Chains A and B, each alone.
Chain A
């Protein structure tokens, strides 16, 4: 499936400034793998060392949060858009 992944401004330094990256993948997880293969500098900001999606990175398929679908196994259709939407978090401890 041909899909577009929208990259937030904080991470565009790792995509040569591109706000949208096109990839071919059958599922959301494989689309993110394809994105990271094209732009390896994104890897530590999207996934933890053991490969899970970082907790503050939300991914939407079109307008729906992947967490309410099938997560990274969510199947994609031609023309879908995946949107990466980082939350911000932190605190004194």
Chain B
């Protein structure tokens, strides 16, 4: 699999990740096929460890995804940030991941977007494999 982000979607992801620093931010990537054209910010509900963890409640996610689907978009996956940490998927990410979704991780160092990588969980949950990411220009 591979993930493509429109210029607008990528700008929305990086703006959210930098504005939320030093906390982790999270959102939905939606579009069609493997091309995300919309990034929808969600609220990180992990109040205890927001700099190293994120969580979005099921009903909040359910409502946000239903609104996107009502607009004719597919949910392709989710993005989140790793403040002052590499963009590799962690064991924590794998433990909680949903299958058949892209997980775009953006490393933010000192408040600025650094590296990015996208990951997909194998169906047997054993590992998250990296997938190529294409960023479209404006």
B74 CB, nearest partner CB in chain A, Å? 8
Interface of A, helix, strand, loop or mixed by DSSP: mixed
A87 proximity list for chain B (CB < 8 A): 55-58, 61, 96
Contact of A89 among B56, B75, B82, B85 (CB under 8 A): B56
Interface of B, helix, strand, loop or mixed by DSSP: mixed
Contact of B24 among A58, A85, A91 (CB under 8 A): A91
Measured CB to CB, the residues of B under 8 A from A are 24, 26, 46, 49, 52-59, 61-62, 65, 69, 74-75, 78, 80, 82-83, 85, 89-93, 95-101, 103, 123-125
- Extra A-B contacts (9), CB below 8 Å, given A57-B58, A90-B97: A10-B101, A45-B99, A85-B58, A86-B61, A87-B56, A88-B98, A89-B96, A90-B92, A91-B52
